[in-house]
Amino acid sequence: MVKAENKNLEKEVLLKNLYAPHRDFKNSPLFIPGECTSIVFGEGNPDAEILFIGEAPGKMEDIEGRPFVGQSGRLLNRALEFAELKREEVYITNIVKCRPPNNRTPLPNELAIGRDLLLLDQIRIINPKIICTLGSAALTGLTQKGYSITKIHGSPLTFLEYVLLPLYHPAYILRNRREAPNFLADIKKIKTLL
Ligand code: URA
């Protein structure tokens, strides 16, 4: 137990150090001019077995400085419950840490900067067993491969030494309710992959 707590603390410190150079967010290379008022770094268990990666913060996330706290976040919370996962046990972040103007899709260079400057180090520090990408931007931005999310969702892949489970983005499910059963079936697979 003490060992586990130490590991948690170590990872927390490493994550804090990773975030530190971006605290002054307007001078960070992660900053996207327009509507961004904060860097949304991520939250959860620093020693999580499961890491969720979304696209970019929306309005609520930008205001609160926390990932997935708006409508998509509420759906994600319900899906986690359905999969018998506790939000505080997992780690949740986005590939892009600043809110793009008008919630537009992140540009290829924004995805690349988010990946190379921060996300890959977050993954290395947390060292999860499973990475779950939420939506197409996170999947293709992270892997730099042209996967089609409608074809590949729910099929485990390998990324570096990690199992990567591509999931639909909750916002897509809010717009396409018919896909909700597929989203839930996919998220239910997580525990079987641990
Ligand atoms: N959509 C995302 O991709 N990330 C969030 O944090 C919120 C909505």
Q: Does residue 102 have a pLDDT over 80? A: yes
Q: Is the shortest distance between the CB of 100 and ligand 1 below 6 Å? A: no
Distance CA 32, CA 174 (A): 26
* Percentage of the chain exceeding pLDDT 70: 99
Q: Look up residue 42 and give its two tokens.
A: 């991520």
Query: How many Cα atoms are found within 13 Å in the side-chain-facing hemisphere of 108?
Result: 3
pLDDT digits (tens, 9 = 90+) for 142-182: 999 999 999 999 999 999 999 999 999 999 999 999 999 99
Which two structure tokens, joined as six digits, stand for 4? 């586990």
Ligand 1 nearest atom to the CA of residue 134, by list position: 3
Q: In this structure, which long-range contacts are made by residues 143-148, counting pairs with CB atoms below 8 Å and at least 24 apart in sequence?
A: 144/115
C-alpha–C-alpha distance, residues 134 and 5, integer Å:
29
Query: What is the predicted pLDDT for the residue at 173?
Result: 98
Give me the mean pLDDT over the 66-81 stretch. 98
Residue range 23-36: mean pLDDT, rounded: 94
For ligand 1, is residue 57 a contact (CB within 6 Å)? yes
| Alpha-carbon gap, residue 128 to 106, rounded angstroms | 25
**Ligand 1 pocket, residue 72 CB under 6 Å:** yes
Number of the ligand 1 atom closest to the C-alpha atom of 138: 3
Q: What is the mean pLDDT of residues 29-33?
A: 96
pLDDT band of 1, cuts 50, 70, 90: low
Q: What is the DSSP string of 135-164?
A: SHHHHHHHH-S---HHHHTT--EEETTEEE
Q: What's the confidence (pLDDT) of residue 4?
A: 73
- Residue 26's CB is within 10 A of a number of other CB atoms, namely 10
pLDDT at residue 66, rounded to an integer: 98
Q: Is 170 in the pocket of ligand 1 (CB under 6 A)?
A: no
Distance 121 CA to ligand 1 centre (A): 20
- State the pLDDT confidence band at 10, using cuts at 50, 70 and 90: very high
Find out whether the beta carbon of 168 lies less than 6 Å from any atom of ligand 1: no
Look up the CATH superfamily of 2-193.
Answer: Uracil-DNA glycosylase-like domain (3.40.470.10)
How many angstroms is it from 55 CA to the middle of ligand 1?
Answer: 6
Cβ(27)–Cβ(141) under 8 Å?
A: no
| 3 CA → ligand 1 middle, Å | 33
| Bridge partners, 132 (sequence order) | 52, 165
Domain boundaries, the chain: 2-193
Give CA separation, 145 vs 107, 138, 141, 157, 192, in Å. 15, 11, 8, 12, 25
Q: Is the CB of 54 under 6 A from ligand 1?
A: yes
3-state secondary structure 108-121: HHHHHHHHHHHHHH
The number of the ligand 1 atom at minimal distance from the alpha carbon of 92 is: 6
The yes-or-no verdict on residue 6 having pLDDT over 90 is no
